[in-house]
Amino acid sequence: MNIILLGAPGAGKGTQASRISRRFGMPHISTGDIFRANIKNQTEIGLLAKSYIDKGQLVPDDVTCKIVENRLQEEDCKNGFLLDGFPRTVNQAEALERFTHIDVVVNIDIDFALLTARLCGRRVCKECGETYHVSTLNGKTNCEKCNGELHQRADDNPETVQKRLDVYLAQTAPLIKYYTEKGVIKNFTGTDEPPEVLFQQIEKVLEEYR
Ligand code: AP5
Ligand code: MG
């Protein structure tokens, strides 16, 4: 099962991805996570990516596509994978088609009015990447899963969030039409349901593709 998770910044892609990959046993490939790991390790790709991510812009397609193409050739992707945050442009989607096929695109639709609060309140585990929101942490500063320290992403501030949203509307939202026309999209609403309820809805649909 080869899956794409599509949605605006803060729609809940990472939150659902960790549940889907645990449930169906497939690697969770987040281009955002790959860039952040490169930034942490101060690689050449990391330095380049940081200059775009800090401004809320997309990292150039050629760099991003090459990373994904290489990652999908790894052994753990042989029986399926879950792409989170890729593709993000029609150009990336066309490149992806040249090196693999996609069974289903899970699109999480979201009320944009919620996004700033969601993203600015997000906390992420430095060790395992698990995602939380301050509203449910009750003051805890460590990860429930691995006890790692929680931190705030550098791009989760109101100014950068607004830019990421603008970029989403201009460059990523056209993918909804693109995959609708290909007949592979499944739409979900990430606005009202808590993560566990949304996951049950997604799980039910993905069961049909096994
Ligand atoms: P990336 O890391 O992918 O960020 P993003 O797309 O902006 O998405 P987020 O990770 O912010 O949101 P999410 O949908 O995963 O939400 P989450 O589950 O965490 O990319 C970062 C940057 O890298 C980009 O801006 C770009 O520069 C670069 N990049 C990455 N991929 C690229 C590509 N393909 N091409 C070019 N550049 C690329 O949830 C958010 C919060 O909401 C959390 O606090 C969570 O607890 C809460 N929440 C989640 N679900 C619910 C729910 N159902 N109800 C209530 N709260 C919820
Ligand atoms: Mg994410």
Q: Does residue 59 line the site of ligand 1, with CB under 6 A?
A: yes
Q: What is the pLDDT of residue 20?
A: 97
pLDDT digits (tens, 9 = 90+) for 158-181: 999 999 999 999 999 999 999 999
Tell me the pLDDT of the chain averaged across its residues: 96
- Does pLDDT of 103 surpass 90? yes
Is the peptide bond preceding residue 87 cis, with omega within 30 degrees of 0? yes
- Does pLDDT of 34 surpass 90? yes
Ligand nearest to the CA of 117: 1
pTM of this prediction? 0.96
Q: What is the pLDDT of residue 38?
A: 97
- SS3 letters for 21-68? HHHHCCCEEEHHHHHHHHHHCCCHHHHHHHHHHCCCCCCCHHHHHHHH
Confidence label for 68 from pLDDT (cuts 50, 70 and 90): very high
Atom of ligand 1 nearest to the CA of 123: 44
Q: Does residue 129 line the site of ligand 1, with CB under 6 A?
A: no
Catalytic: 98? no
Ligand 2 ion: nearby residues, β-carbon < 5 Å = 13-14
Report, as an integer, the average pLDDT of 141-168: 96
- SS3 letters for the chain? CEEEEEECCCCCHHHHHHHHHHHHCCCEEEHHHHHHHHHHCCCHHHHHHHHHHCCCCCCCHHHHHHHHHHHHCCHHHCCCEEEECCCCCHHHHHHHHHHCCCCEEEEEECCHHHHHHHHHCEEEECCCCCEEEHHHHCCCCECCCCCCEEECCCCCCHHHHHHHHHHHHHHHCHHHHHHHHCCCEEEEECCCCCHHHHHHHHHHHHHCCC
Ligand nearest to the CA of 46: 1
Q: What is the pLDDT of residue 5?
A: 98
State what percent of residues in the chain have pLDDT above 70: 100
Residue 12: phi and psi, rounded to 5, are: 115, 20
Catalytic: 122? yes
Cβ atoms 14, 123 nearer than 8 A: no
- Does pLDDT of 184 surpass 90? yes
Distance 164 CA to ligand 1 centre (A): 10
Q: Take atom 20 of ligand 1 and give the residue whose Cα is closest.
A: 32
Q: Does residue 11 line the site of ligand 1, with CB under 6 A?
A: yes
Ligand nearest to the CA of 156: 1
Report, as an integer, the average pLDDT of 142-147: 96
Distance 130 CA to ligand 2 centre (A): 10
CA contacts within 13 A on the Cβ side of 78:
3
Q: What is the pLDDT of residue 210?
A: 83
Cβ atoms 176, 93 nearer than 8 A: no
Q: What is the pLDDT of residue 7?
A: 98
